[in-house]
Every structure is written in structure tokens, then in C-alpha cells.
Chain A
């Protein structure tokens, strides 16, 4: 009956479904006759189940936008983009491979000093709290931009303008004051005709120039931020990455011009 004798190799074969059907009965009999082999088999089976159980949750996680963007081809390309933009895109997505065919490294998420990360996190938190509020997203509405920015400027100590983002389809809803790291930030909310909301978060920032994009590890809206000359800004929203970058760039230019800072 027993065509062959079994060894501990067969434990792995059996566990991985590689043992031929007609050998299984003999294998079972061998296990029963060898308690140490049976114990081993049970232990491996338990470790296996634990391993599998540990990672099944990953299948249900939402796929990060940066991964689908690669396949759909709407990840920003490096070529032909303005310099400040190239930096942000490189830091955020490492899309180098899209054109050049070679990736700089598997992990280069260099966000620079921690203060930008913190600012981007606060901006995302403010966006998630207030942009989601259908009825009362702002404290002061945008019907009188001069009044709004006057108030926000006074409270944040920054020279602020409300960027006009209508070319991008976004209208100013209004603004409010929100907490910043050790200070106060201005949050200006915009909406487009489809009801998408984005926010422009402005606060005092570091003097070191830094630019980039940020998304919480769990996903959610993306922040495109920069810090420069004591001025920090993040544009937050859930838009296709390329679109959000365009809007952010526009807002960035206008805020800099409004504050009388030249673009570096």
C-alpha cells in the first residue's frame, strides 16, 4: 500500500496543497503514527494561519491614490513643469520612472523639516473638520473678500489676500480662523460647481524654503504645501493630483503677490 515513506518535507507539501491526492491517506496515517511529526504539522499550520490572517486586512484597505494614478497615467510628469512644481512632484510621487525609466530610490519621501509635515497635518485636519460641514463651513462668508481678508490678516498677523481661483472653477465660500502650531491660521474655503471643496490654509511658517505634498498614512485628502519667508500655506482637497497641483500653484502665486513677496 505505502508506495513511499514520508519525511518532514511532506508536511510542507501537504500544508501547501502540493501533496498528490492519492498520497494523502497514507500521509495522514504516517502523521498519526508519528506524534512528533503531527505536532510539527499542527504548529506549522497554526503559524501559517496566523500569517495569512495578519495580512488579509490589507486587501480591504482603500488603495492609495498615488498608486492608481500611476496606472491611470494621471500622475504628474516631470518634464516641462516649472521648477517649484518639479520639486513638489518629485518629493511627493517620485514619478521619475514615468518618463526616465529609472527610479531614484524606493523610498525617497523627503519632506524636509518636520514643521511642514505638522503644518500639512493641521491643514488636513482643518479641511476635514470644516469642509465637510455642509451648512456652516465658514465663519465669515466670501461676499466681501476685503472684509474677510482684513479680519484674517489682523488675527494671523499676515498680509493675506483671498486668491481668486475662478479660472480653476472654484468660488470663495468664505473663511475662518483655525489653530496652527503655536499660532493661528486662516482657512479659506472654496467650492466648485460640482460641490468639491478645497481649502487654503495660511499661517506663519518657517523661513527655510520647503515645498511638497502630504497625505495622511490612512489616505484621505491631499495637501500641497510650501513654506517660505515666514509664511506657510497648504492647499487641501480631494481632487485628481494634477488638478489640485494646478489650483495650488495658482493660489500660491496670488498669495505671494498679495503679501508683496517675490516668487523665488
Chain B
């Protein structure tokens, strides 16, 4: 039991990074991690000893993330924002966030949740396609196309932002 808990504690930084890439806002991301940990602790028996807790925890968190995204869609964005949304949004997702990094983070948030999750798992978290496909519960082919489309989308969004920036400069 204690060994399991210690192993879970070690995964928290990774879970926080994944959540932050998915959700941008720091408090919402940590809320997601907290939900994930609470659920994991209730189901400690589901985790086979000897296996790394990482994939198990990421799977739990992914389900929670997708649930949450569905609720957002159903109830409208405001439903899942904290009550002090103004303040939360003002908190930079990343310390000393530069304009360039903000553009990437913004673009990432605009990609559909499924593609975002696939891209973040592979490109940021460094999971293999096989691992990511298992955690996301999709066939490898689906995962592949989500990553390919996610990257295309990200590139297009970034190009778009760059173009708008250029226009702003020209207009001055």
C-alpha cells in the first residue's frame, strides 16, 4: 500500500505537465490531477503491482479529461471555469510566458481534445504509439491519424497567428 502510494507520488509532476498541456490554466490543470489521484486511490486494487503506475494514471486522467470536455461542450465553456475565472485566466500558464510561447499554447488549446491528447502524449510526454493508443483506448491507426492531423492543425494555427501578426505590423 505505502509502496504504491510512493510510486504514485513520483508521477505527480508528469501528470501535472500533461494536464497543463491539455488545459492551459494552472488551477484547472491541478484540479484535473487531483480528480485523477482521488480516483486512483479509490481503485488502488486495479493497479497490478510490478507495473509502472504511469500508464495506469495517465489512462485515468485521460478519461476524466474527455468527460470534462464533453461537459464543456454540453453546458458551454463557462460551466467548468472556476468562479474566480477572471483571476484564474490572468494567471500565466507558464512562468514568464513569452508572446511566442503564448501563441503555441493558445494554438494547442484550439486543437480538438482527442487530437490534443494524442499529440501531447507522444510529442511532449514521449510515449510510444503503442502505449498512447492503449491509454487513449483507440487503435494504433486512429492514434496515428490524430497525431498527423493534430500537427497539421497546430501548424496551420501558428501560421495563421503569424499572418495576423504581420498584418497588425503593416497596419501600424
Contacts and interface: CB of A to CB of B under 8 A. Distances in A.
A244 to B, nearest CB: 18
Contacts of A147: none
5 residue pairs, one from A and one from B, having the closest CB atoms: A97-B38, A58-B17, A110-B83, A70-B37, A109-B82
Interface string B8-37: 110011101100110000111011111101
A23 interface: no
B16 A54 contact: no
B30 A66 contact: yes
B83 A71 contact: no
B80 interface: yes
Interface in B59-92: 64, 68, 80-84, 87-88, 91
A231 B41 CA distance: 39
B104 A50 contact: yes
Given A55-B20, A101-B42, A67 B12 contact: yes
B104 A9 contact: no
A103 B31 CA distance: 11
B129 A18 contact: yes
Interface in A70-90: 70-73
B129 A71 contact: no
Decide if the interface of chain B is mainly helix, strand, loop or mixed.
Answer: helix
Contacts of A217: 26-27, 91
Nearest to A105: B80
Interface residues of B, number: 55
A111 B68 contact: no
Interface in A88-131: 93-95, 97-98, 101, 103, 105-112, 114, 117
Interface stretch (A40-48, A159-167, A182-190, A233-241): A40-48
B12 A68 contact: yes
A51 B41 contact: no
B41 A71 contact: yes
Contacts of B42: 97, 101
Nearest to B154: A47
B131 to A, nearest CB: 11
A57 B95 contact: yes
A52 interface: yes
A218 B28 CA distance: 14
Given A44-B151, A50-B104, 19 more contacts: A9-B144, A12-B144, A16-B129, A47-B155, A51-B104, A54-B101, A54-B105, A55-B17, A57-B94, A58-B20, A61-B16, A67-B16, A68-B9, A70-B41, A71-B41, A97-B35, A107-B31, A109-B88, A117-B84
B83 A106 contact: no
A179 interface: no
A63 interface: yes
Contact of B80 (A59, A70, A106): A106
23 contacts: A16-B122, A43-B155, A47-B151, A50-B104, A51-B123, A55-B17, A55-B124, A59-B13, A63-B13, A67-B12, A71-B8, A72-B5, A73-B5, A73-B41, A94-B34, A97-B38, A97-B39, A103-B35, A105-B80, A106-B64, A109-B88, A110-B83, A114-B84
Given A51-B108, A51-B123, A61-B13, A98 B31 contact: no
Nearest to A53: B101
Given A43-B155, A109-B82, A67 B30 contact: yes
Contacts of B147: 12, 16
A58 B105 CA distance: 14
